[in-house]
Amino acid sequence: MSRLATVKNFLRIMGAIYTIAFVSFGLQAAGLVGSHGILPAATFLAAARQALGWTAWWYIPTVLWLRPADWAIAAIWIVGAVLGIVAAGGWLQRGALAGCWLLWLSICSIGQDFLSFQWDMLLLETGFLAIFAGETLLPVWLFRLLTFRLMFSSGVVKLASGDPVWRDLTAMGYHYETQPLPTPLAWWMYQLPGWFQRCSTALVLVIELAVPFLFFLPRRLRVAGAWITIGLQALILLTGNYAYFNWLTIALCLWLFFEPLRKITWGGVALAIPIGLLTLVTFGELLGVPVPDIAGRLVSVAGPLRIVNSYGLFAVMTTTRPEIQVEGSNDGENWLPYEFRYKPGDVHRAPPIVAPHQPRLDWQMWFAALGSYQQNRWFVRFLEKLLRGEPAVLRLLRKNPFPGTPPRYVRARLFQYRFTRLGQGWWWRREEQGMYFPPASLH
């Protein structure tokens, strides 16, 4: 495949990923950040303006400052999806991707807890570079540097965290069971013996810590590194639901398959200098190395644009799987559970395959279970919406046990979930751990 064809195909893939991201968010927007949602964008922006004054426009860059209404949020994701389709079709690709980047930044800036995932930031960083993508030396190397930083950082944080399960190579024995949204294949992978899990843990560390250095070597070794990375991403994709993250990482590997034109343009230099300085800061923070003052000042100025970000998934591996069951009652005695669309609930229901869509409420419930409701104030807002019977929020759930009128009381119980073993039945077993949120009413 020629250089030009590779670049155009990458831009097509970026358009498709943007389309998926916008539509996935749009299906949930009203319940998450709409005026009747869990964390209304308009309320967030009003509080930011009061706290930060006119600087709020820079620190929270979003076109919603013009009108933070529900129709405006809908317009953003619809226009973004259309622009993504335009880019995927090969028309006006750079202009369309520039529009996608601006609109996705606008969404991430007001998404609060629900749009704070690493792949949301990776899409912004990759999307920004995609606007300037080309066959010449500097743009190609900026993409390779991003791919290196993404993979290498993921390995460094695992060892730097001091987590013993990474150091004794038992992490993958926990991963398939305790990751946020496993797939059915994760259940089968969990059944494999301990020696296999230790070998696969060691392999993950090698792929993340050693293989990225192949990205800067001659083509044969570089392509080998690309295929190894793609293989790891395919395995993650098959065993877990990580939205569009794995597809985006695979797309980045395309920049490892060809030799760039050995030509340096002024535009490439103008792009490479600030990106290089920002990258220097992120590496310095990761490795604990001091960075020049000018780079630190650049970060404080450019930080809100999220064009260079820190990465590193599963720095500390979760070894247990707490799950929250939210319940409602009209008399305080008989309680009925709300059922989420994708996170574990019914122990006989198979884990879902939902990626590249990301059910953001289900994901946040995983994080909430790892802490307390006091650490997750959005969770209290969520319960309040259930007590009010808010339709936009209820549509985020699979089953509402109070379809007529909302309950008088809500509460949340905590359970410990475990995958079953072969011969023990399908798919989960659980034990109650106690109360997560005590019974409460609107009064």
- Calpha distance 328→383 (Å, rounded): 10
CA 251 to chain centre: 16
Give the pLDDT score at 296: 66
Q: Please return the burial class of 193, using the count of CB atoms within 10 Å of its CB with bins 0-12, 13-18 and 19+.
A: exposed
Do 158 and 313 touch, CB atoms closer than 8 A? Answer: no
Instruction: Using a cut of 0.85, tell me whether the model's pTM lies above it.
Output: yes
Average pLDDT, rounded, for the chain: 94
pLDDT band at residue 2, thresholds of 50, 70 and 90?
Answer: confident
Is the pLDDT at 75 greater than 80? The verdict is yes
Is the pLDDT at 209 greater than 90? The verdict is yes
pLDDT band at residue 276, thresholds of 50, 70 and 90?
Answer: confident
Is the pLDDT at 16 greater than 70? The verdict is yes
Which residue pairs, CB below 8 angstroms and at least 24 apart, start in 168-173? Answer: 169/198, 169/199, 169/201, 169/202, 170/194, 170/197, 170/198, 170/201, 171/201, 171/204, 171/314, 171/317, 172/197, 172/198, 172/200, 172/201, 172/204, 173/197, 173/198, 173/201
Is the pLDDT at 294 greater than 80? The verdict is no
Is the pLDDT at 1 greater than 80? The verdict is no
Q: What 3-state DSSP class applies to 279?
A: helix
Number of H helices and E strands in the chain, helices first, is 19, 6
Half-sphere exposure of 102 (CA within 13 A, CB side): 11
Is the pLDDT at 265 greater than 90? The verdict is no
Is the pLDDT at 247 greater than 90? The verdict is yes
Nearest to 232 by CA among 217, 219, 245: 245
pLDDT band at residue 3, thresholds of 50, 70 and 90?
Answer: confident
Q: What 3-state DSSP class applies to 292?
A: coil
